[in-house]
Structure 1
Amino acid sequence: MSTVAGLEPDAVLASVRAFVDTEVAPHAEEWDQAERLPRSVLDRIGELGLWAPFLPVEVGGAGLDMVTLGRIHEEVARGCSGLRSMLTVHGMVSWAVGRWGTDVQQERWLPHLIKGEKFGVFALSEPDCGSDASADGTLAEQDGTDWVINGHKTWITGGQVADLLLVFARTGPGMSAFLVPSDAEGVEITPIPNMMGIRSSMAADIVLRDVRVDADALLGPQGWAAGTIMTGALDLGRYSVACGSVGIIQACLDACVSYTSKRSVKDGRLRDLQLIRRKISDMVTNVRAARMLCEHAGRLKDSGDPAMIMAAWVAKYHASTAAVAAANDAVQIHGANGCSPYYPVARMYRDSKIMEIIEGSTELQQTTIAEEAYREVA
């Protein structure tokens, strides 16, 4: 399989689907138990051109539209949510550099990010405030023309293999973004073991102690990152998580249809029981509804419509909660087998819960979506 660049959307998805079926899904349990992804699969993502395929062809991307990107992330999550998470955060960093980077920054980082030669991570969350940017405790202070950064970031997806950190830090009253090489003096990376879900995403704690970077590390205008770089990247991440949740529902559906078609109970098959069919029908309906919500958000993003922001919130809310419901039913359908490491639904159950927390918790989404409804009526 060659890169997706130059292919029509249907051909792109067929290529990705084949990749997931042959090189991802069969190994997802192994990667989950090992709590890491092999370098070989990360390299294959680069060979296929999937790290940042939405970037323009002129800079080395594939110029893919958002709807196709969403379907790619759905397919990858169908096989392994940990790998999809890696695509998400790396894509967020690549988007930020492509959108806000200077010529020097883009020349230095974009070719490597697009090919996957350098892995980028989104360093926002902190131990005492999560992703609440208003409470961010990381500080960056000027020292001549340099910046000195001190802080502690946590739950950083891909942090164990990071080459480039997109670090958000306070610079006076505002928030700024910095491109920090992971091998900079003062950067300490510690793996986070025994995650409940997306275990193979290689999450890490990252401490920055007097990390010195030059002026070229500042991404975008000083003090301006909260409403621009951070918001734009999080919108992309939220969309990816929504699409990834669709992939989890589809994986649960596929697993349950296969299992109930083979499993015998009393004088028939498990698939013949009405309560089983109710659960299957719920999965079918939810996966189609969630996919349509994601496609709607993707089309709005492609057209530059600001309504995409709320559409992504709605898509992520529905898809993530539906993924939890599907995974819960999938484990129930599998019975004791669903609690074992021998069937993928146990992993899907753990992964689905993470979807309700990352890129905006379910409760935050409920509050935001309801507030928008009141605003529209007013």
Structure 2
Amino acid sequence: MDPAEFDAASWDAQGELPAEVRRAVAGSGWFGTDLPAEYGGRGGTQAELGELCAEVGGACGSVRALITVQGMVAAAIHRWGTAAQRADWLPALVSGDQLAGFAATEPGAGTELSAVDTRVERSGSGFTVTGEKRWITFGRAATVFLVLGRLDGKPVTVLVGADRAGVSVEPVHGQLGLRAAMIAHVRFDGVRVPQRNLVAPPGFGLSHVVATALDHGRFTVAWGCAGMAAACVADAAGHTAQRRQGGVPLAEHQLVRSMLARMSVATTAARELCRSAANARDAREPGAVAATVMAKYAAARAAASASQDAVQLLGSAGCAPDSRAGRFFRDAKVMQIIEGSDQVAELHIAEHLLRQHRTGENGHAGEMPGLGSRRHAVAGSGAGG
């Protein structure tokens, strides 16, 4: 599947990613880019996963979101699932036989996921799941949800099939961005699931399973934003080089050149931070989590500013229904909220910096306090978004 051939404007207008497109994404092997070959993956590096997300993200944010949410659930199972769970679920996620939804956010639990009210209760040899989840990326298409809830007062994660009795899906239409990401609100009313669907012991659901999923999500969102920003720079530079005003190309005006320069610098810097995060993750450095937060923060801001400036420079063309810059302008604002809002990221980046100076560390603090429990309730992936 070639991202250059995406009909992203049409998918955005329709408010969904067609089934044949989702199948084509799965057939391209993108779901298994960084998973081991034993599960059907390609065994690729984090850098390779990042470059894929940048290329796809520069064409369609919703397709990138599909790769993100599938990868979030797969990463959580790969890291914290049992051998049987990995053998059962990972090949199905890689092939696209199962499409995942990451069901964490709730009406009263967005940035602070420790406030979730979803109940997971023991029932016979399994569990029942009861609760309401909001803003689930590809919730309308998902065949399985990784659900965050509470069991005996402890955070817990459980896999719930979308076809189980008691699962109801409410489509969400017309949201600001990621309009083809098939976002939904999902209710679980006493849904019965087997014991084998519990991922990690009670108490590990938020700090381990969900934290792993969100870390993967931030990384792919960061690279997707870098791709979005680069596409906006290309559109703005191409338009201003050709469009004439006052007898000269727009690009000959000093203010236009200043805007282009700022867009280019921010985009290049964000890409380098993404590369740094990828290298840290591939090397399993202790500071990889911090590097990923910083990359996502910088890349989301670069995408937001570059898309805004691109729309400004393109003028009426930037406001057209099929404008890539206009679509990314909407998508980029969502990127500044999901997987940790800009404001939350700033707190964690500052804490990471100050902790090094308080303790005399040399930049090797890996986990940032609270990152596993913080998430804004706008899009349940990444959304997954």
Match of 1:139 among 119, 132, 135: 119
**Match for 1:301: what amino acid?**
R
Are 1:341 and 2:321 counterparts?
Answer: yes
Mapped pair 1:364 → 2:368: no
Report Cα offsets for 1:9-67 as digits up to 9, x if no partner. xxxxxxxxxx1112x2xx11000000101122211212210012111012210001001
2:159 aligned partner, one-letter code:
L
1:92 aligns with 2:75: no
> 1:298 corresponds to which letter in structure 2?
A
Secondary structure of the residue that 1:275 maps to in structure 2? helix
Aligned to 2:46: 66
Residues 144-179 of structure 1 deviation map (CA, whole Å, 9 limit, x = unaligned): 221011111011001000011000111123111101
Is 1:31 the counterpart of 2:11? The answer is: yes
Q: Counterparts of 1:307 and 1:372 in 2: how far apart (Å)?
A: 10
CA distance in 2, matches of 1:143, 1:40: 39
> Cα distance, 1:84 vs. partner?
0.5
Q: 2:222 aligns with which of 223, 235, 242?
A: 242
* 1:131 Cα deviation from its structure 2 partner: 4.2
| Cα distance in 1 between the residues matched to 2:228 and 2:199 | 34
TM-score, scaled to structure 1: 0.92
SS at match of 1:160: coil
Q: Check the 8 A contact 2:39/2:87 in 1, yes or no.
A: no
| Larger RCO, structure (CA 8 Å, separation 6 or more) | 2
Give 1:76's aligned amino acid.
Answer: V
User: Does residue 1:208 correspond to 2:188, yes or no?
Assistant: yes
1:158 aligns with 2:148: no
Query: Structure 1 residue 117 and structure 2 residue 100: aligned?
Result: no
Could you give the per-residue CA deviations for residues 326-367 of structure 1, whole angstroms, max 9, x where no partner exists? 111011101232222142211111011011000000110111
Q: Tell me what 1:12 maps to.
A: none
Contact 1:36 1:199 survives alignment (8 Å):
yes
* Partner amino acid, structure 2, of 1:111: P
- Shift in Å at residue 103 of structure 1? 3.2
Partners of 1:343 and 1:60 in 2: CA distance:
37
Q: Is the 8 A contact 1:245 1:323 kept in 2?
A: yes
Amino acid at match of 1:216: R
AA at the equivalent of 2:219: Y
Task: Compare 99-108 and 173-182 and name the one that shifted more.
Answer: 99-108
- The runs of 5 or more residues in structure 1 that have no matched partner are 2-18
- Matched residues in 2 for 1:265 and 1:352: separation? 29
- Structure 1 vs Structure 2 CA RMSD: 1.2
Identical positions, percent:
36
Secondary structure of the corresponding residue to residue 133 of structure 2? strand
The letter of the residue matching 1:235 is D
Looking at structure 2, the residues matched to 174 and 189 of structure 1 have their Cα atoms a distance apart, in angstroms, of 26
Of stretches 345-354 and 270-279 in structure 1, the one that deviates more from structure 2 is 270-279
User: Given that residues 234 and 359 in structure 1 are in contact (C-alpha distance below 8 angstroms), is that contact kept between their aligned partners in structure 2?
Assistant: yes
- Which residue, 222, 226, 235 being the options, matches 1:255? 235
Q: Where does 1:307-318 land on structure 2 (aligned, <5 Å)? A: 307-318=287-298
Which amino acid letter does the alignment assign opposite residue 41 of structure 1? V
Shift in Å at residue 222 of structure 1?
Answer: 2.1
Matched, 1:181 2:164: no
Structure 1 counterpart SS, 2:120 = strand
Q: State how far apart, in whole Å, the 2-side matches of 1:372 and 1:108 are.
A: 38
Alignment correspondent of 1:20 = 3
Q: Distance in 1 between matches of 2:280 and 2:192?
A: 40
Contact 1:140 1:171 in 2 (8 A): yes
Letter in 2 for 1:295: R
Query: Which residue in 1 is equivalent to 2:244?
Result: 264
Equivalence for 1:53:
33
Matching residue's letter, 2:355: R
TM-score after normalising by structure 2? 0.91
Q: Distance in 2 between matches of 1:70 and 1:127?
A: 31
Q: Which one-letter code corresponds to 1:109 in the other structure? A: W
Seen in structure 2, the aligned counterparts of structure 1 residues 141 and 342 have a Cα distance that, compared at 3 Å, is closer
Q: CA offset at residue 91 of structure 1?
A: 0.4
Which residue is equivalent to 1:198?
178
Structure with the larger helix share: 1
Corresponding residue for 1:322? 302
- The CA distance in 1 between the partners of 2:282 and 2:330, in whole Å, is 32
2:36 alignment partner AA: P
- Rounded to whole Å, the distance in 2 between the matches of 1:108 and 1:265 is 61
CA offsets 1:245-274 (integer angstroms, 9 cap, x no match): 101101101111221122111111111111
Task: Give structure 2 stretches of 5+ with no counterpart.
Answer: 359-385
Contact preservation (8 Å) 2:33, 2:48? no
